[in-house]
Amino acid sequence: MQKGKINVQTENIFPIIKKFLYSDHEIFLRELISNAVDATQKIKTLVSVGEYKKDLGDLSIEVKLDPKAKTLTVSDKGIGMTEEELDKYINQIAFSSAEEWIAKYKDKSKGEVIGHFGLGFYSSFMVAKKVEIHTYSYQEGANPVKWECEGTPEFAISETKKKKRGTDVILHIADDSSEFLEEQRILNLLKKYCKFLPVEIIFGTEKETKKEKDKDGKEKEVTVEKPRIINNTEPAWTQKPADLKDEDYKAFYRELYPMTFEEPLFHIHLNVDYPFNLTGILYFPKVKHNLEVQKDKIQLYCNQVFVTDSVEGIVPDFLTLLHGVLDSPDIPLNVSRSFLQSDSNVKKISGHITKKVADKLEELFKNNREDFEKKWDDIKIFIQYGMVSDEKFRERAKKFCLLKNVDGKYFTFEEYRNHISKNQTDKDKKVVHIYSTNPEEQHSFVEGAKERGYDVLWMDTPIDSHFINMLESELENVSFVRVDAEVLDKLIKKDEEIPSKLSDKEKEQIKKDFEKCVDKEKFNVSFENLSEDDMPVTITEPEFMRRMKEMSSLGGMNYMGNFPETHNLVINTNHPVIDRIAKEKEESKKENIINQLTDLAMLSKNLLKGEKLTSFIKRSVDLF
C-alpha cells in the first residue's frame, strides 16, 4: 500500500474547496459526469488512432444512489487510470489531465474533451465527507487501484478487485448535504446538466408499457422495467443543417421547452469554426409584451455540458428574448458568470451571434417580404429592442425594420417617409409621423387625422417611447407625435389659416368660464381656430411629458412620478356650441354646457372616472 500527502500548498485547501470552489454545490455532479464523459471520449480516440484494439463494448455512464449506505456513485467504462496516473492527476490538484491529453491528441481526437483544469474532481468534497476512486486502466499489465480521502490532505492508494476497464467515483455524502441522497434531486440535476451529453447516462430504471402477443397470438399490454436514459446524445445543434428538416427543429424546440405550447416562428442554426468554435440553434418565439417573461430561455453549453441559462451580460440584452441553445468549447466551463461576461472569446461570440441574427432577418425580409410582414407583429418588439440597445444591430436593422399603420399596411423607413412627406411636413421641414398606441381607445382622434388626409402609425409596444426617441435621433428631419398629443393642424403647416369667429373679448370671457369649471392645475385652457366640423373641446397631452413618463415607468425608475399630470384643454373657436356659450346669459345653463363638453372630451381620453363619470351620466339623462 502507498501512502502520502496530496501535493498542495496549504493545509486549509479542503475547507476552501467546500465553501468557495463553486457558488452552487450541486455543480459537483456536472463535474464528475464531465470527467466520466472525458474518459469515455478518450478511449474512443485511442481506438480511432489504433492504440487500443479491444472491443469497446457498452460505453454508457451509470449514476447509482444508495440512500442506506449514504453513497452516490458515478461509473464510466472509459480510459481508466494507473496508480501513477492517480498520483499525477488526483494528488497534484493543479495539474490537468485534460490539458495534457489535448496537447498530445489535438490533431487526432474525434471526441471533445470537456475539462480544462484539474479542480473539477475536487468539487465532490463540497458534498462528501469521504471520496473513493476505483479505477482500472486500459493499459496492458495495469492493476486496478483504489484511492480514498476523507477531506483532509491525507490519502491512501491500494489495490482493489475491480474487474472492468473504467472508473467508479464513490461519494460518501456528508450529513449537511443529505439532499443529494434523494432520487428526485439527482434526477433533476442530471436532466439540468447532462440532458445533451454525448455519452449515454443511465440513472435507475423506468417503466415502459409495450404491446406483446401471447401464445394464442392475442395482443396484450405488458409493463417492463428498462434502464432510465437521461440524455439525448445527438441533439439537433450537433448535426448538420442539411441533415435536418423543419419538423426536426420543431421537435428539438419541444424537447428544450416541454411546457411551451406555441411553436417558434423560425430558427437560426449556428455552425462556426473560425475564428472561434460555436454551434447552436436560436429560435424566434412570438415575443409577448412582458419582456421579463421572455428572458433566460437561452441555454449555454460547453461541449454539450450545461453551463447556465442566465445569459444576460454574456450575449447582448436584446438577444435574451430569443430561445434555444449556444454551445462553444471556447466558453469557460468552470468559472463565474462575471468572468464569462469579461472573457474575450465570449465577447467575440456575442458579436457574431448579433451578426447572424441580423443576417437571418434580412434574408427573410428580402426573400419573402409577405411572410415577413405576417410575422412582424410577433417579432417587432425584439427588433425594436435590438435597435434601441445595440448600435451594430441598429445599422443592419434599418434595412428590414417596418412601420405599420392603423390600416394594416407595412412600410420600411424610407417607404414611409415617401408615403407621408407631401402631406405631413411641418414648417421646420420635419416629416411628422403621427401614431396611435391604441386605435380603439383613440378612435375619434385617429378618424379626425384620417379625415384630414394624414396617415397614422400603430405603435403599441412597451418600448415604443424609447424606440421613437431613437428614430428621431437616427432619421433625418423627422418627428413623432401621438395622434391625441397635439392639435395636428397646429403642428403641420397648412396652406390656409382658418379665421376665428370669436373676438378677443369673447375668448377672454370663455376662458374664465371654462377655468371655473375645470381644475386649473390639471388643465391648461387654450384656443385653436379649427373647422366647424371638429370637436368643440379637445383634450391633449404634451408629447414630451407623456413620453418621458412612459420611459421612466418602463425603466422602473418613475422619476417623472412626482410631476403634476397636466393636459391641454383646447377650445375650437369656430364650433357653433362655443358660439352659443359666448352668447348665453344664464350662468347655470352656461356652466352645464361647459361641464358637458369638458366631460365628453375627458371621456374620449379615458380620463372621466368615479364621481365625475356618475355626474356626467346623470347630466346626460337630464338633457332628455
Q: What is the pLDDT of residue 320?
A: 87
Q: pTM of the predicted model, to two decimals? A: 0.77
**pLDDT (mean) for 319-342:** 74
CA dihedral 502, 508, 512, 518 (to 10 degrees): 60
pLDDT in tens, 120-171: 788 899 999 999 999 999 999 899 999 999 988 888 999 999 999 999 999 9
Q: Which residues pair with 64 in a beta bridge?
A: 73
Q: Which helix (H) or strand (E) holds 450?
A: helix 443-451
101: pLDDT confidence band, cut at 50, 70 and 90? very low
Q: What is the pLDDT of residue 82?
A: 93
Cα 561 off chain centre by? 29
Can you tell me the distance from the alpha carbon of 338 to that of 349, in angstroms, rounded to the nearest whole number?
A: 16
**Cell triple for 155:** 490519502
446 close to 439: Cβ distance less than 8 angstroms: yes
Can you tell me the distance from the alpha carbon of 376 to that of 361, in angstroms, rounded to the nearest whole number?
A: 11
Identify the structural domains of the chain with CATH numbers, from first to last. 2-204 (3.30.565.10), 236-373 (3.30.230.80), 402-491 (3.40.50.11260), 504-541+562-622 (1.20.120.790)
Q: What is the pLDDT of residue 557?
A: 46
Residues 6+ apart with CB under 8 A from 40: 59, 61, 76, 77, 78, 79, 111, 199
pLDDT in tens, 533-556: 888 988 887 777 777 776 666 554
**pLDDT (mean) for 500-524:** 86
CB-count burial class (<10 Å; 0-12, 13-18, 19+) for 232 = middle
Mean pLDDT value across the chain: 84
In the predicted structure, residue 418 carries a pLDDT above the cut 60: yes
In the predicted structure, residue 194 carries a pLDDT above the cut 80: yes
Angle in degrees, 0-180, between the axes of helices 587-604 and 504-517, rounded to the nearest 10: 70
Can you tell me the distance from the alpha carbon of 238 to that of 257, in angstroms, rounded to the nearest whole number?
A: 18
pLDDT in tens, 251-264: 999 999 888 778 99
What's the Cα-to-Cα distance from 562 to each of 123, 549, 558, 565, 579, rounded to whole Å?
52, 10, 8, 9, 38
**Cell triple for 121:** 474532481
**Cell triple for 370:** 409577405
Q: What is the pLDDT of residue 275?
A: 78
Percent of the chain's residues with pLDDT above 90? 43
**pLDDT (mean) for 486-509:** 78
559: pLDDT confidence band, cut at 50, 70 and 90? very low
Residue (of 160, 32, 24, 175) closest to 90 by Cα position: 32
Q: Which residues pair with 72 in a beta bridge?
A: 65, 171
Q: Which residues pair with 435 in a beta bridge?
A: 457, 482
CB-facing half-sphere around the CA of 598: CA atoms within 13 A: 27
**Cell triple for 58:** 457498452
Q: Which helix (H) or strand (E) holds 308?
A: strand 305-308
Q: What is the pLDDT of residue 334?
A: 52
Q: Which residues pair with 229 in a beta bridge?
A: 202
591 close to 517: Cβ distance less than 8 angstroms: yes
**pLDDT (mean) for 96-115:** 51
In the predicted structure, residue 471 carries a pLDDT above the cut 90: yes
Residues 6+ apart with CB under 8 A from 535: 444, 448, 572, 575, 601, 604
**Cell triple for 409:** 399596411
Q: What is the pLDDT of residue 491?
A: 74
What's the Cα-to-Cα distance from 5 to each of 91, 347, 599, rounded to whole Å?
8, 41, 87
In the predicted structure, residue 495 carries a pLDDT above the cut 60: no
351 close to 314: Cβ distance less than 8 angstroms: no
Q: What is the pLDDT of residue 59?
A: 95
Can you tell me the distance from the alpha carbon of 362 to that of 327, in angstroms, rounded to the nearest whole number?
A: 24
Residues 6+ apart with CB under 8 A from 349: 276, 278, 315, 326, 328, 330, 331
Say if residue 275 is preceded by a cis peptide, omega within 30 of 0: yes
443 close to 395: Cβ distance less than 8 angstroms: no
